[in-house]
Amino acid sequence: MNRALVHRLLPGSCAALAVLVLDQAVKAWLLDLLVVLGGHARVTGYFNLVMVWNTGVSFGLLQAGQEARWLFILLSLGIVVGLIVWLARAETRALALALGLVIGGALGNVIDRLRFGAVADFFDFHYASYHWPAFNIADAAIVLGVAVIFLQSLLGPRSLAK
């Protein structure tokens, strides 16, 4: 493998691995903790830990039954393959890291779908009676990665540090 390709793949691969490991570790811990706590824990006046099983896509959109599980898994894996190809061609370190965040998050949620048939979501931010849809570390990484990709596409590849 040539040195330039390794230089492009390494930051994104490390980000993907870090997100995947952190996501799965936090999910394992919170699954156990929330069983003990009865599925819900108030942390602050605006943040709760909750146990939500998401059979749809990010933030509970397009909720579907088990018949869609394999479609979501295959679609996610296809997207990951495309993102890995893009990662191999990434021109900046910021883009490589952003792609790694999305890849790691997507793989974390695929593992949940394979293990549990749904994605485990825990973080519930709210204000008064309005609750943001519950999410997990993988979802947060995907959103952050997509935001960086979007910003870089708007501002140009040199806008974010190489």
C-alpha to C-alpha distance for 125 and 103, rounded to whole angstroms? 24
- Retrieve residue 146's tokens: 């997509």
Cβ count within 10 A of residue 67: 7
Active site residue 139: yes
- Retrieve residue 43's tokens: 């942390």
Q: List all residues 6 or more positions away from 37 whose beta carbon is below 8 Å from its beta carbon.
A: 49
- Retrieve residue 101's tokens: 């965040």
Catalytic residue among 23, 112, 124, 139: 139
C-alpha to C-alpha distance for 32 and 100, rounded to whole angstroms? 28
DSSP β-bridge partners for residue 42: 48
Active site residue 32: no
Closest by alpha carbon to 105, among 25, 1, 21?
A: 21
C-alpha to C-alpha distance for 162 and 159, rounded to whole angstroms? 9
Residues identified as active-site: 121, 139
